Structure 1
Amino acid sequence: MKRHHLLFLLLFCPILVQAQDIKELSPQQAFMETWSHPKILPDRITLNVTENMAREASVTWRTSADVKEGFMEIAEALSDPMFIQRSVQVEARTQTLDARDVKAAGTRANYHSATVNNLKPNTTYAYRVGDGTLWSEWFQFTTASENETDPFSFLYVGDAQNYILELWSRLIRESFRKAPEARFFIHAGDLVNHAHREQEWHEWFTAGGFIHSMIPAMPTPGNHEYRARTEGNVEDPPILSIQWRAQFNLPPNGPSGLKETAYFFDYQNTRFVSLNSNRSLGSQARWLDKVLKDHGKEWVVITYHHPMYSAASDRDNDQLRKAWKPIFDKYGVDLVLQGHDHSYARGHTEPINVPEGVNMMDKAGTMYVVSISGGKMYEIGGNWEELGAIKDRTGEKTQLFQVITIEDKKLIYESYTPLGELYDAFELHKTEGGPNKLVERSSELIPERIFSGNN
């Protein structure tokens, strides 16, 4: 196409360009395999959520197998650069992951994991990692407050999965620019496309860069985190990504057999739960019932991969709905964050056990969100009304990230495009003895992006 023809399309036909299949716009590039090989310097430095975010911090990183030990140095951050003289050193647990027999992985590396305790609440710390001689740069993070009513924000994205380095990078970097004070980052599954493929994990870590090192990750596994150890072998059962437990160090409080994929932690006045929608739905329902019983927090936020109510056609997850929705309803789960359907849908169920005489015009039960952050897109679909839910907002062929803020008895949800446009926004307000009040912010939003003609 000649240059002036392309310029005409970009200036006068924006909808046509936006609606094209991403494969036509950006063929997936091939990257050199050697980019992903580990070296003696630390890489993939990742903060992880912990059971006690006010008092603990956990970091993981990778080196070549030549590096036999690792250390984390940490100090309370000060404006004076001499804070480094007050740092303490924590020895890491080192494990070797030899994946040379897995064609998609093909590497041997050492993964290091260090956890530090007895930190001060609501305090900014600086840390670095290394082998005692070769060190990373210093990174900073802030611990949770022990005052439960203090406001805080966190980020949430759906599937990165495809075109990770090419396109997801701009999305996650824009999310950091929009919410640099976010206290952790929810990744709702399908972080990569092929569970064991080392190059894709390298793209994920490279795309996020220092963001992974400064904002703790709360990942939940998607179906693409489960693949046969030998790609393409249908007789080989799918297993969790061989890199998952080595490169993430997550709370080990989940049900048997699902540790570090199903887990929970409390952040100030909110209980956060990751469920594994790929495995053992029934046993997780029983575990979740115990996790939500008498938890004593104001809010409950749950994340998992496969949606309760699908955002695309012919992708219904009936077994998941039967297993988990009764538990969500029983305990009044406030917000559910999901991925998988590569489009956007947000809606709610009606409250149950409502006191007599309550006006239901602006009330909501559980709010469900399906979102997409990577470059692979599906048309919007799914009839929520037939399943007893109300769909409030939809979108397709649009990369999105979400900033969620909790201010005591108010939850503020905002969804943004990579251009920083406000695509969706609402608030949930706690009421005395009744369901959440839903406040829509429709007047602030750009128009819905729907190209398929379905809704």
Structure 2
Amino acid sequence: MATSSRYRVFGGDLTERPTEQRWEETYRGLDSIGQQYPVITVTGNHEYLKYIIRKLERRFSLVFSYYLDSMVGENQVYTLKYNDMQIFCLDSNREFFYLWTQKKWLEEQLKKSNARWKIVVLHHPLYSIKGSMNNLFQRTMFNPLVEEYGVDLVLQGHEHAYARMTAHGENGEAQAPVYTVSHCSPKNYYIEFDKRFDKFGTGSRYYQQIRVHGDTLTMNAYDATTNDLYDAVDIIKDKTGKSRLEDRGKEIPEALIFHSNGGKKEEAFQKRIDEYKQRKGIQ
């Protein structure tokens, strides 16, 4: 989840399953938020019914009715421009043909956008922390556009941990786009600690606050259980549109919380954690 003083953005899976009971739980959870702030969300796989060709449970579009006007075919896509920022919402749960249609929509929207700051939101991470072969269709469809059209920030969910990956230029300097994975579920994934990522968090829940001030877009990530600052990045853009990045999160210790019960998967994950800590010099 990303927060702003003006609206709330969710990365999908607002409901556990698309059933009456689960939707009622979702409505109760959103009730106090929705009375104070506009809610923007993308679809997650838990909003879909499990058919051979996936089918979105119809209440999603009826509740988040801005999709009724913005859908392209059966694709739940939406874009919102707010001052100098534009958000592009994708439906990463779909089959290849639908992703191809969304690719064309996203390129059209990015081409005509005059927003200084561009943020893409989708459920499945373009760079997975579960394994390098995961979400290949999504990465193939969308990531070339993210890079070509100067997207600054990619907000993602689905894989239950925190991770942040930063692009780097030819000289190794950090630059946009910045990719984040975040979640607020009680379930935790056994992730891979890919060297392309700058920072990880396991065993807790996280939310982000995105703020634009002057020539800077700030992304602060917080531990939802303590509300302590967990990660922080500034994307600073000059008048020509060229950006540089200040990584304030590298000074904040990484929390890798895990308690093995002795099973093979648990032991393998604990070993990955230990190897990562040794690589990063984490005590």
TM-score (norm 2): 0.83
Q: Paired residue for 1:275?
A: 90
**Alpha-carbon deviation of 1:453?**
3.9
What per-residue deviation string (whole Å, max 9, x for no partner) do you get for residues 115-160 of structure 1? Answer: xxxxxxxxxxxxxxxxxxxxxxxxxxxxxxxxxxxxxxxx61xxxx
Contact 1:298 1:409 in 2 (8 A): no
The answer to whether 1:250 aligns with 2:66 is: yes
**Alpha-carbon deviation of 1:322?**
1.1
Distance in 2, Cα, partners of 1:266 & 1:347: 25
Q: Paired residue for 1:441?
A: 248
Matched letter for residue 342 of structure 1: H
Q: Paired residue for 1:413?
A: 219
Q: How does 1:14-413 map to 2 (within 5 A)?
A: 156=2, 182-195=5-18, 197-228=19-50, 237-251=53-67, 252-258=69-75, 261-279=76-94, 280-313=98-131, 316-351=134-169, 360-381=171-192, 383=194, 385=195, 390-413=196-219
Contact 2:204 2:257 in 1 (8 A): no
Please list every run of 5 or more consecutive structure 1 residues that lacks an aligned counterpart in the other structure. Answer: 1-154, 157-178, 229-233, 355-359
Q: Paired residue for 1:430?
A: 237
**Alpha-carbon deviation of 1:408?**
2.9
Contact 1:344 1:370 in 2 (8 A): yes
Contact 1:421 1:446 in 2 (8 A): no
Distance in 2, Cα, partners of 1:428 & 1:237: 39
**Alpha-carbon deviation of 1:193?**
2.0
Distance in 2, Cα, partners of 1:327 & 1:267: 21
Matched letter for residue 347 of structure 1: M
Matched letter for residue 5 of structure 2: A
| Local SS of the residue matching 2:119 | strand
Contact 1:310 1:382 in 2 (8 A): no
Matched letter for residue 151 of structure 2: V
Matched letter for residue 255 of structure 1: V
| Local SS of the residue matching 1:342 | coil
What per-residue deviation string (whole Å, max 9, x for no partner) do you get for residues 64-116 of structure 1? Answer: xxxxxxxxxxxxxxxxxxxxxxxxxxxxxxxxxxxxxxxxxxxxxxxxxxxxx
**Alpha-carbon deviation of 1:443?**
6.1
**Alpha-carbon deviation of 1:406?**
0.9
**Alpha-carbon deviation of 1:361?**
4.9
| Number of residues of Structure 1 aligned to a counterpart in Structure 2 | 257
Contact 2:176 2:244 in 1 (8 A): no
Q: Which runs of 4+ in 1 moved over 4 A?
A: none
Distance in 2, Cα, partners of 1:198 & 1:432: 51
**Alpha-carbon deviation of 1:435?**
3.8
Matched letter for residue 332 of structure 1: G
TM-score (norm 1): 0.53
| Local SS of the residue matching 2:115 | coil
| Local SS of the residue matching 1:316 | coil
CA shift in 2, pair 1:224/1:203, >3 Å: same
Distance in 1, Cα, partners of 2:203 & 2:177: 26
Which one has a larger percent helix, Structure 1 or Structure 2? 2
**Alpha-carbon deviation of 1:214?**
1.2
Contact 2:201 2:254 in 1 (8 A): no
Contact 1:313 1:382 in 2 (8 A): no
Contact 1:306 1:317 in 2 (8 A): yes
| Local SS of the residue matching 1:377 | coil
Q: Paired residue for 2:267?
A: none
| Local SS of the residue matching 2:66 | coil
User: Which is higher, the Rg of structure 1 or of structure 2?
Assistant: 1
Query: What is the RMSD computed on CA atoms of the aligned residues?
Result: 2.2
Contact 2:166 2:174 in 1 (8 A): no
Q: Percent identity?
A: 29
**Alpha-carbon deviation of 1:362?**
3.9
Contact 1:269 1:408 in 2 (8 A): no
Contact 2:221 2:231 in 1 (8 A): yes
Contact 2:153 2:176 in 1 (8 A): no
Matched letter for residue 246 of structure 2: V
Distance in 1, Cα, partners of 2:163 & 2:36: 29
| Local SS of the residue matching 2:148 | helix
| Local SS of the residue matching 1:323 | helix
Distance in 2, Cα, partners of 1:201 & 1:315: 32
What per-residue deviation string (whole Å, max 9, x for no partner) do you get for residues 174-201 of structure 1? Answer: xxxxx7x721111111112212x12112
Distance in 1, Cα, partners of 2:99 & 2:250: 39
Distance in 1, Cα, partners of 2:28 & 2:246: 38
